[in-house]
Amino acid sequence: MALGHSASVFPGFDRLYVASDPLADRPFRAKLEGDFDDACLLVRGEQRAETLSASRAMGERVPGDVVWTTWAIPLLLAQPAVDACRAANFSGWTTLPVALKDGHGDDRSFHLLVVTGRCGPIDYARSAREWTIYPGGRFPALRGFYFDEDSWDGSDFFMETRDTGWIFVTERVVQLFRTNKFRNVRFERLDEIEIDADIV
């Protein structure tokens, strides 16, 4: 179910984060299937699915509290993570039920995170221009994700209004995940995230 908005004076970009897949080999990773056409739209709450199922694709046989999928964006939450988010009264999210089969063939109930909170598009003109050193040489990079502060609806979970897959969260979400040791998710501050300038 969708939850109400948190209050909101803009906290600063140093207290907002991108939640992303750490791309670790060991954790359970699922293959998500169902009656949907676009996984990104599903996560954004802009497409519905009546039936969602998942099964082990790689990694450990038993899923943790946070499970990423073979799609680039969707993540699944176990019941303890969902319960903790609800108890904290986080806003900007809802879930869809997912029937997940683990590596032992046992059925487990999981939840696909659907993000309903929004902010305006990232303004890459506000990002710092830097050079990043890789084994292949120096490459241009952008540091920092910034958007019009007034465009943020105050939600704890939110995404851009344009069709992208970045999942943003407030510091409250990060603290809850760390306190409860809900692992297998990477949090990067918006003012520190770095991306290849060539993809913008």
For 142-157, what is the mean pLDDT?
96
pLDDT digits (tens, 9 = 90+) for 44-90: 999 999 999 999 999 999 999 999 999 989 999 999 999 999 999 99
The three-class DSSP label of residue 85 is helix
Helix or strand (DSSP H, E) at 179: helix 171-179
User: Between 164 and 135, where is the model more confident?
Assistant: 164
Task: Examine the pLDDT at 180 and tell me if it is beyond 70.
Answer: yes
pLDDT band at 132 (very low <50, low <70, confident <90, very high): confident
Longest dimension (CA), the chain: 49
- Ramachandran sector of residue 45 (left: φ over 0; alpha: ψ -120 to 50; beta: rest): left
At 8 the pLDDT is 67
Task: Examine the pLDDT at 178 and tell me if it is beyond 80.
Answer: yes
For 135-156, what is the mean pLDDT?
92
